[in-house]
Structure 1
Amino acid sequence: MKPRPVETDAGVPSGGRWNLWLGGGTLVLVALCLFVWFPRDISSGFLKKSLTGNTIPGDAFFPVLLVMLMVPLALLLIVGALRAGQGGGEAVGRVSLQNLLFLLYASLATGGALVLMALGGPLVVWVSNGMGLSDFTSYRAASGTFPYNVSGFFLGGTALSACYIYITRRRLRGRDLLVSALSTALLILIFAGLLDNIQLPPNADL
């Protein structure tokens, strides 16, 4: 019997060049933000001194942090495209129904996680009051007390990470939930523990 021919992606356009251009364009955008846009549009710097003499994040802190997170992603795209060589990279086809469903699931997961983030804190306070562990009159009264002030962000952030993992891998294991919880806890430690004058959502809207 003759062996079956091996299926290849011949004739399917490659995404290597697209990844290279996307990574390079992202680096150009980062440079424009850091050296042109932010210096002209943002009054204070990355860090500043408060009236009490404490070092707190300035107006440029979060914008700079956001664009700097784009740098390693852009470098990964560029390095991956260069290593693959000419015509390398993932096969690129037309937008399919699966692509649209992926975007729909991601949008629903994001929206649901944000709702949980907004309602999680009041829910934790309500359960705590019902169990006799606290006697807060409202979530506003508990918004300055740990762990109630970070409970909504923790629940919503953990749910968001877990949902993204499930959408991407089509399964969710116990270690995935642990990674989601630990990564969210790390964000809480950085923004609520190490940095002053920062309110995690939804506390800033109270």
Structure 2
Amino acid sequence: MYDRILVPTDGSTGSAHIAMQAIDLAEQYDATVHVVYVVDEDVGSLLQSMKITEPELREYGQRAVEKVERMVQAHGVDVAAEVLEGDPATTILDYADEIDADLVVAGTHGRSGIERRLIGSVAERLVRRASCPVMTVRLPETNVTVEDEDHATELAEEELANRGIDATVTGIEQQQHVWVAEATTDDGSLLVYVDPETQRTSVVTEANP
């Protein structure tokens, strides 16, 4: 049913929850996940007020797609990533047509500031204008099954053990409704994302600063 699944990202931690939905579908249908971040061409005044340069925003976008890319790769799913420029909704729609996407999986809102503008405010336009189905994902507010740090830590440790990774969880916190555990190994550090609703976990090698 699905061969190419497009996931716009804003780089927020909540994007992990959205990516997990796309990964589930990609695993079921042996699909490729395409990750895209759009640098808004019309944020000049906003950038100036926040003292952010366009190269910095593009660099942020590159880190954003790489974060999701590593999550997808950790599950053995094919992935492609792009950082584009333009009007966010139009650019995402054009890219969906360019790759002949079978499905777009998008968050209904991002975090505050530029990221919210890039993703949250365009979801409705994607639904109205996309030539393929659009699956909108809200960060979980109900049906939460992982409510505390101890449970989230236990799930993270179980996932590491199941993968045969000798690592120690050194910290955990909830960021935008996704539990993020930090773990260390002899070779470096890892992040373990735990979805508080589905208990789905994803292990990602933490990029060097």
Relative to the length of structure 1, the TM-score reads: 0.23
Structure showing the higher strand proportion among its residues: 2
Relative to the length of structure 2, the TM-score reads: 0.23
* Bigger Rg, structure 1 or 2: 1
Structure showing the higher helix proportion among its residues: 1
